[in-house]
């Protein structure tokens, strides 16, 4: 029991710096670039891309109501979980991270924008 608690606490501690560095308020502004295809919040629904409530920490491809690309489904089968590191890599250059993705967005160039969007997404469970 103590070991599980220690591992859980360590995991939270290792994840915390990314959230601490990101500013969810600034991330909300950056997320405007994403709103054409994605939604978050209480009334969020799938659009061209899946709604992103609960995305942080979730297994890739977990939204049963969305038709994902074969590339994403393959990575999901390989165990992809949307943690801060994976999400940052995807948001920076989606097509480099996942060849064959349906996401046409070129990516966020600024590291701060990536951190801020991740912090913003983390506010939606």
Predicted confidence at residue 21, as pLDDT, reads: 80
Predicted confidence at residue 30, as pLDDT, reads: 98
Nearest to 87 by CA among 50, 43, 48, 57: 57
For the four alpha carbons of 70, 121, 90 and 57, in that order, the dihedral sign comes to negative
How far, in Å, CA of 14 to CA of 17, rounded? 7
Superfamily name and number for 2-121? Cytochrome c-like domain (1.10.760.10)
pLDDT in tens, 2-43: 444 444 444 444 444 444 489 999 999 999 999 999 999 999
- Compute the average pLDDT of residues 34-53: 97
- Compute the average pLDDT of residues 61-66: 96
The answer on pLDDT for 117 being more than 70 is: yes
Measured in whole angstroms, the distance separating CA 63 from the mean position of its chain's CA atoms is 13
- Compute the average pLDDT of residues 114-120: 98
Predicted confidence at residue 91, as pLDDT, reads: 98
pLDDT in tens, 77-115: 999 999 999 999 999 999 999 999 999 999 999 999 999
Domain boundaries along the sequence of the chain: 2-121
Copy the structure tokens of residue 125: 């469970």
- In total, the chain counts a number of residues equal to 125
Beta-sheet strands, E only, within 1-125: none
Predicted confidence at residue 46, as pLDDT, reads: 98
Copy the structure tokens of residue 32: 């405007």
Predicted confidence at residue 123, as pLDDT, reads: 97
Q: Could you tell me the CA-to-CA distances from 87 to 7, 43, 72, 92, 112 in Å, in that order? A: 22, 23, 13, 8, 13
**Residue 7 parent element (H or E):** helix 2-21
- Compute the average pLDDT of residues 39-59: 98
């Amino acid at each position: 029991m103590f070991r599980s608690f220690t591992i859980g606490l360590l995991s939270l501690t290792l994840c915390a710096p990314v959230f601490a560095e990101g500013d969810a308020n600034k991330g909300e502004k950056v997320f405007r670039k994403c709103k054409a295809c994605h939604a978050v919040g209480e009334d969020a629904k799938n659009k061209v891309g899946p709604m992103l409530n609960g995305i942080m920490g979730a297994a890739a491809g977990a939204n049963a109501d969305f038709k994902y690309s074969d590339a994403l489904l393959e990575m999901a089968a390989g165990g992809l979980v949307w943690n801060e590191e994976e999400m940052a890599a995807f948001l920076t250059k989606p097509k480099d991270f996942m060849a064959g993705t349906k996401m046409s967005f070129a990516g966020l160039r600024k590291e701060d924008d990536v951190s801020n969007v991740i912090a913003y997404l983390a506010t939606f469970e």
